[in-house]
Amino acid sequence: MNKITVILVFTVAALLLGAVLAGSRQPLPSTGAARPALSVSLVEPAWRELPVAFSASGSVAAWQEAIIGAEVSGLRLAEVRAQVGDAVTNGQLLALFADDSVLAEIAQGRAALAEAEAAAGEAEANAGRARRVTGSGALSEQQVVQYLTAAKTAQARLQSARAQLQAQLLRQRHTRVVASDDGVISSRSATLGAVAAPGQELFRLIRQNRMEWRGEVAAAELPRLQAGVAVTLAVPGLPAVSGRVRAIAPTLDAASRNALVYVDLPGAVQAGLRPGMFGRGEFQLGASAALVVPQEALSLRDGFSYVFRLTQPSGALARVVQVKVEPGRRLDDLVELLAGVAPGDRLVASGGAFLTDGDSVRVVATTDGAAPDGVTP
């Protein structure tokens, strides 16, 4: 009986304590208004002229490379006077073959020519006498024909001797390897003491030290290009270089479906460009109007771009909605918006990363520093 009495006492006490606590509760006072998530300034999309351009990648190359080779055979290379990187002029001596044997052949050719001239003179004299006595019976007709034939044969031998001498003189000229144009030596395979074969490459020459950029342009972009279009080439570590499209390849690469566009680079040497460098070129196609906002007005979320647009203000606060936009061209800190907004929309100028759709904000000022219409700062 004592245990039951104790349990009843504790139960009654608990009920009395709950009643007391329930009577002492009071409702919490209401705040009366929502707190702003952020104090913001506003910006409106504006129309601006932005350049129309697209980019492509490619390599710098020599405009043309001239191959300078050996034109004689069996001669030893006696001197090499040009090295890689040397600037040369048209006709400058680059290498020299030993011409001792050629000079001996020239002397022999001159002697043979003198002999042929003498023989031709004698044969012509005999032919002249034969012509004068023709019909007199002093010489038979057969003898006259022989003298005339001998004169013609002597003349032919004389011409052959002259041609052989000219060939030896030409061979002597070919012992001098000269530059075929102004430019810079880009490769040298000439080795002192080597005996070169006819046509063997000795030097390569970048003609006029002129370079070009060969951009790989997709087929879809080709209709927008034509000769004369301005291009700005950027190579890492070097200043930008301006150029113009000279030609467009008539065919596309079967694997990449790209076409080569050849761009002249007048300032390539001064900028430090060298053949083989890789760069990115921007083709300038003019300008067009674009609806732009500052870069800070955009927020990137889940791979998409958004802005926050103000709805109808309510007192000191205004509500924002998140709007998905499609960015386009960029110029400095301005971004073109292709879809999602219209002129006159009031957008949050910065701080969108801290907002969510439907947040309340306190509007401080527009971009020009004035409070927006209908909103009390």
Q: Please state whether the predicted TM-score (pTM) of the whole model is above 0.85.
A: no
Would 29 be classed as within a structural domain? no
Would 303 be classed as within a structural domain? yes
Tell me the per-residue pLDDT of 66-104, one tens digit each, with 9 for 90 and over. Answer: 999 999 988 999 999 999 999 999 999 999 999 999 999
Would 1 be classed as within a structural domain? no
What pLDDT is attached to residue 365? 65
Neighbouring C-beta atoms of residue 338, cutoff 10 Å:
12
Domain shared by 47 and 89, yes or no = no
Q: Which domain holds residue 295?
A: 38-54+289-366
The CATH number covering residue 135 comes to 1.10.287.470
What pLDDT is attached to residue 129? 84
Distance CA 214, CA 278 (A): 10
Would 12 be classed as within a structural domain? no
Tell me the per-residue pLDDT of 123-177, one tens digit each, with 9 for 90 and over. Answer: 999 888 888 877 777 778 888 888 889 999 999 999 999 999 999 999 999 999 9
Domain shared by 172 and 251, yes or no = no
Q: Distances in Å between the alpha carbon of 101 and those of 13, 69, 76, 95?
A: 136, 20, 10, 17
Domain shared by 46 and 81, yes or no = no
Confidence class for position 339, pLDDT limits 50, 70, 90: confident
Phi/psi region, residue 246 (left: phi>0; alpha: psi -120 to 50; beta: rest), is alpha
What pLDDT is attached to residue 94? 96
Domain shared by 219 and 268, yes or no = yes
Would 15 be classed as within a structural domain? no
Q: Which residues lie below 8 Å from residue 32, measured CB to CB, with a gap of 6+?
A: none
The domain boundary residue, chosen from 253, 284, 315: 284
Confidence class for position 29, pLDDT limits 50, 70, 90: very low
Confidence class for position 373, pLDDT limits 50, 70, 90: very low
Would 201 be classed as within a structural domain? no
Q: Burial of 328 by CB count in 10 Å (0-12 exposed, 13-18 middle, 19+ buried)?
A: middle
Would 156 be classed as within a structural domain? yes
Distance CA 154, CA 117 (A): 8
Q: Which residues lie below 8 Å from residue 185, measured CB to CB, with a gap of 6+?
A: 82, 83, 84, 85, 86, 88, 94, 203, 204, 205, 206
Domain shared by 59 and 69, yes or no = no
What pLDDT is attached to residue 15? 57
